[in-house]
Structure 1
Amino acid sequence: MRSIYTIADMTTQVISKEHPQGMRAKNGLEESELCVEYKTMRSSARAVLLDGAKVVYRESCITEEFRMGVEHDFPFLKMQFEIEGHSAFHSTVRGVPDVVIPGGHHRFFFLPEVKGFLTYPCSRSTVEINLTEEFLSRILQNDLRAMGAFSAALGQREPALLGTRPMPILPEMRYILFEMKNCNYQGILKKIYLETKITELLLMQIRQTGESGQRDVRMKKADIEKLHFVKEYIARNIHDPKSIVELSRLSGMNDCKLKSGFKAVFGCTIFEYLTSVRLDRARHLLEDGDQTIAEIAYLVGYRHSQHFAAAFRRKFGCSPSQVRPNS
């Protein structure tokens, strides 16, 4: 099992990476760390290899859009949680779809053949879980019917994405991801713990996407561009949030279409997105800044630090003080 990554600029760099056959770890669990630095990108990753699954916690600092070629010589079954940032895979294989995951969203997908380009426009924080089909069958007790059309496509070796669009990472998902990343168990106990958490996350993904209940939303390109304008405007003006009526006037869309379209395209309401941006900004300040928690709460638009702390815990599953370095 091999992955090849190609970084092209003035000179082309090719990175080849071998994976254990069947994604199986010696003694049931192996841990490793990897740091990569390349001009506009600096990335650190911590990986835990289990029996048929690999969990990767990745933090990437990207100063300008980063693009690289990618090719795997094995089928790709993956749960990806794009906690922050944005990930876009553009396939060069006919019949294999692109996979785009905005920040704050997740996807579960199967690609029988992977060859194309990965594009990361900004810094990222992700949890990526690669599975073998054997692992998936085992945790679902050899009955994949709950996954609906995804199961049928998997059986026919066809590309499959669970649900019709990326879905927002729920607060309870964030809490599980936080627990996994900070797990203190060792050896066999850690293996059992992580496999249990992977199962929980998969069940949440299946329940949330509910393939039979999702409808593919079709919108005009011009309307989608207006929605992206609103999204970017909100992110740039967290200290001066506009009402729906004001955003409607700025975008040239009526308020009903704005609200329904925003949720359809981005998987969350306008208020949920504003809250998410504020809290993501706060987390960066907590990790890298010297301000007090009360000062940071005010900087990201909260008048009361108690309200800020409650919202922060709902999103990240921990208090603001817990993400402070050496806290």
Structure 2
Amino acid sequence: MESSTAHSVAFNDIFLIPQGEVHEYSLPMPGIDGAGKFVRCDDMAIADGKVTAGPPAFSWQHYNEQAFVELNFVIAGQLCQTHEGLIDRQLFRQGYSNLLFNPRSWEKNELTGELGFRNLGIYISQEKMIGLINNYAPELQHLVTKIEKEIPFVMHAPTPHFSPRLRQALGQLWESPVPQGLRRLHFETQILQLFYLQCEALLPSRTPHPGEALRTADKERLQQARQYLLEHLAFPPTLGELSRICGLNEFKLKKGFRLLFNQSVFAFVNNERLEAARQQILQGDHNISEIAYGLGYTHPQHFHRAFKKKFGTTPGGLLK
């Protein structure tokens, strides 16, 4: 990755701070309004970075010298990331998460528009992650050899939003007790909880029956269908239209979509609409009626009812 395309930032020294202490910092880049928090606990660490303002398309990069396995969560906004040899300028929006390993490589981040972003990263050493997988997540055993041999990989969470439990865990992350020993225990516990919740999101909810395994070509068409739905939430296509767009018959589309994404096409559209509405309400750029109509809800009462059923509060109550 060419250093001339981005501001280079050194983060390696941050791993030298005392364990259990929360280190707050400002991003050392000109023209950027951003800050972060960092805490280290033995062979694990948390880095929570936020950029609220900066010039469009501003980018910066750093070298991942430490061989950590990362859990990444985009808590707000969006950004483009490039991980040398692994991910090429991919847009990550609020609600995105992954499990990533790309040691001794360059990472580049780029602002998109004026939204800014907040991204939280969990860093776990190779030895610690191998122990966690062996003891608690044997379904991820295929990653152990890659971690041992430092072979890069990334696993994207299958749904583009956080589960209620994951949102709650992220929201409570920095609510730590004052005594240093308990504070360190708090952060270690939070890291393990996020590891558990991320594994839960990455692993299939059930073992497919014989004959249910999806072909690679069908998976690609289903991913295409999912992306098309995300881009047309306000006016989603019918099942017939979507089957023609992605090149699958309706039976394969419905069955494969549920198998790959653990929900029906209809449920996916409904969930994504409501999640998009929640994000727009929190951003505050439009009133609730405009948001509802913009996402395809023709009757406000239907929108209010569906919103409260999913989030446990009304759209207006979200701001209180």
- In structure 2, list runs of 5 or more residues that go unmatched: none
CA contact (8 A) 1:102 1:166 kept: no
Quick one: which amino acid aligns to residue 17 of structure 1?
Answer: F
Secondary structure of 2:48's counterpart equals strand
1:71 is matched with: 63
1:254 is matched with: 249
1:54 is matched with: 45
Matches within 5 A, 1:300-315: 300=295, 301=297, 303-313=302-312
CA distance in 2, matches of 1:53, 1:134: 11
1:283 maps onto 2:271 in alignment: no
Quick one: which amino acid aligns to residue 74 of structure 1?
Answer: Q
Distance 1:222 1:294, change over 3 A: closer
1:106 is matched with: 97
Distance 1:241 1:222, change over 3 A: closer
Deviations 1:15-41 (A, max 9, x none): 333334xx35425222314357767x7
Count matched residues.
Answer: 300
Deviations 1:239-261 (A, max 9, x none): x4443234335666533454466
Distance 1:299 1:323, change over 3 A: same
Secondary structure of 1:126's counterpart equals strand
Displacement of 1:277 after TM fit? 4.3
The counterpart of 1:14, out of the listed 5, 8, 11, is 8
CA distance in 2, matches of 1:197, 1:176: 7
Deviations 1:250-301 (A, max 9, x none): 666533454466678878654325523432343332343574x688666653
Secondary structure of 1:219's counterpart equals helix
Secondary structure of 1:198's counterpart equals helix
Deviations 1:2-56 (A, max 9, x none): xx99462xxx643333334xx35425222314357767x7544333343333323
Secondary structure of 1:185's counterpart equals coil
1:192 is matched with: 185
Displacement of 1:320 after TM fit? 5.7
Displacement of 1:190 after TM fit? 3.2
CA distance in 2, matches of 1:225, 1:167: 10
- In structure 1, list runs of 5 or more residues that go unmatched: none
CA distance in 2, matches of 1:18, 1:160: 22
Distance 1:218 1:118, change over 3 A: farther
Quick one: which amino acid aligns to residue 150 of structure 2?
Answer: R
2:228 is matched with: 230
Displacement of 1:226 after TM fit? 4.9
Query: What is the TM-score with the length of structure 2 in the denominator?
Result: 0.69
CA distance in 1, matches of 2:104, 2:67: 6
CA contact (8 A) 1:5 1:71 kept: no
Distance 1:59 1:234, change over 3 A: farther
Distance 1:205 1:18, change over 3 A: closer
1:245 is matched with: 240
Quick one: which amino acid aligns to residue 84 of structure 2?
Answer: S
Displacement of 1:63 after TM fit? 7.7
CA contact (8 A) 2:63 2:105 kept: yes
Quick one: which amino acid aligns to residue 157 of structure 2?
Answer: P
Q: Please report the RMSD computed on the Cα atoms of aligned residues, expressed in angstroms.
A: 4.4
CA contact (8 A) 1:45 1:59 kept: yes
Quick one: which amino acid aligns to residue 209 of structure 1?
Answer: L
Quick one: which amino acid aligns to residue 250 of structure 2?
Answer: D
